[in-house]
Amino acid sequence: MTKIIKISKRGELAPDSPIRKLTRFAEEAKKEGIKIYHLNIGQPDLKVPSRIRTEIRKVSNIDYLPYTNSQGTKETLLSYSKYFHDIKVNYSPKEILITFGASEALIFAIAAICDPEDEIIAFEPFYANYLGFANLVSAKIIPVQLDAQENFHLPSQNKIVGKITDRTKAILFTNPNNPTGTVFRKYELQTILDIAKKYRLFIISDETYHGVSFKTKAISFMHLAKDLEQQQIIIIDSLSKRYNVCGARIGAIASKNLEIMSAVNRFAQERLSVGFIDQKIVTLELQNSLGDVKKITKIYQARRDAFLKTLEGELNIKTLYPEGAFYAMIKLPIKDSDEFAKWLLTNFRYKNETVMVAPGSGFYASPGKGKDEIRIAYVLGEEELKKAAKLLAIAVKQYNNSQHLRESK
Ligand SMILES: Cc1ncc(COP(=O)(O)O)c(C=O)c1O
């Protein structure tokens, strides 16, 4: 009998990223000479901070490029510890591991606490790649729905507790949030902490956008947790967005729990080391960066207003104003945002331009959700964003007209 060669279930089930899955249509449109306003991906257009630029110039003289310690270089670990100290979170270098962005930190955290089929509660809409990270270790994301009417703040405690089973290992929490931009309040973090304490769960706290909040300051679980509770907390951090260095691939995982740190350090030994140059160029900035983060936060707030006000005016709709990060989940008068997002790239052109957005459905685990939503990242200049909002409004009207025509045929 011939054996069938087959890939793993994990390989079959790995989801497409809603943020990147339409890239090939964008490439084709660009080949036609179409200008695309990229609102689909959270990649800041801002310059890297001057201290990092200076360091980049210095490393151009390097003629020896070694692996580093798997945990990270001594200097980067010390600097990360200093950053945490600046935001009033107490982590010594031995409680930190430097990772390839928050992405690797999340994969390590999930792998350290979950066996196959174990469950992690996450609030949807959530950062789409959480599904893929859990799938990598055959764990499951169990969604708790957030309501747009409540500006995507937490539902009642019962709704969260109702999702806990014998297999639940952790609650995954993102603050400030991507894709909604929600900044959760202190009482909401306390609710999560109380649940985690009562039901013996870990909290994986994704603080990738810490510092980027407009009116209400986002706090960390480490600001609230008492000594023993701190053992249940795993902080995920990233420099990608705060310092506009997505391409440097530097993030961190931090925890007071020595068993977790021992596990993730062994995972890290298996992948040997994070980039030597990447760590070198961010180390100085990490020691004193709060001022730079404040500056970019002001820029994002103005961009948010520029984009949403224009879109509201053009479409005569009301949108939610995100409280932090640089994303918005927007409800549009359309039936199928997956089809709409593709149509924008393949059919819609206005004066040789179009926009790229991420369809809402990819940010949900519940089937059928997000069909009338798109997620946008306001990572372009204000004038560009206003143009993109106008273009999006024209597209919505044209799309609905063409759909109406198709349906009446
Ligand atoms: C909430 C959240 N977590 C994690 C990541 C991963 O970022 P990186 O791996 O670049 O640090 C992102 C990226 O957009 C994100 O939005």
pLDDT at position 196 over 70: yes
Out of 10-14, 142-146, 248-252, which region has the weakest mean confidence (pLDDT)?
Answer: 10-14
Cβ 360 under 6 angstroms from ligand 1: no
Cβ 240 under 6 angstroms from ligand 1: yes
Cβ 278 under 6 angstroms from ligand 1: no
Q: What percent of the chain has pLDDT over 90?
A: 93
Q: What is the pLDDT of residue 83?
A: 97
Q: What is the pLDDT of residue 178?
A: 97
Nearest CA owner, ligand 1 atom 4 = 102
pLDDT at position 405 over 70: no
Q: What is the pLDDT of residue 370?
A: 95
Q: What is the pLDDT of residue 329?
A: 96
Region 62-74 average pLDDT: 96
Region 285-308 average pLDDT: 96
pLDDT at position 106 over 80: yes
Region 312-326 average pLDDT: 95
Q: What is the pLDDT of residue 19?
A: 74
Structure tokens at 387: 């143009």
Helix axes 337-346, 382-408, angle to 10 degrees: 110
Q: Closest Cα partner for 176 from 42, 273, 53? A: 42
Cβ 238 under 6 angstroms from ligand 1: yes
pLDDT at position 271 over 80: yes
Nearest CA owner, ligand 1 atom 16 = 178
Best residue for ligand 1 mutational test, from 41, 182, 240 (most atoms within 8 Å of Cβ): 240
Cβ 127 under 6 angstroms from ligand 1: yes
- Distance of CA 207 from the midpoint of ligand 1 (Å): 9
CA-238 nearest atom, ligand 1: 11
- Distance of CA 102 from the midpoint of ligand 1 (Å): 5
Q: What is the pLDDT of residue 404?
A: 60
The pLDDT tens digits for 372-386 are 999 999 999 999 999
Q: What is the pLDDT of residue 401?
A: 86
pLDDT at position 211 over 80: yes
> Letter for the amino acid at 38?
H
What is the rounded average pLDDT for all residues in the chain?
Answer: 95
DSSP letter (8 states) at residue 49: P
- Residue at token pair 């331009």: 353
- Distance of CA 131 from the midpoint of ligand 1 (Å): 13
- Distance of CA 69 from the midpoint of ligand 1 (Å): 23
Q: For 349-370, give one letter per residue: b (16+ CB within 10 A) or e.
A: beeeebbbbbbbbbbbbeeebb
Q: What is the pLDDT of residue 407?
A: 66
- Distance of CA 103 from the midpoint of ligand 1 (Å): 6
Round to the nearest angstrom and report the end-to-end CA distance of the chain: 53
- Distance of CA 208 from the midpoint of ligand 1 (Å): 6
Out of 5-19, 40-54, 197-211, which region has the weakest mean confidence (pLDDT)?
Answer: 5-19
Query: Per DSSP, which regions of 166-207 are E strands?
Result: 168-174, 202-206
Q: What is the pLDDT of residue 3?
A: 84
- Residue at token pair 């306001």: 378
The pLDDT tens digits for 35-45 are 999 999 998 89
Best residue for ligand 1 mutational test, from 20, 127, 213 (most atoms within 8 Å of Cβ): 127
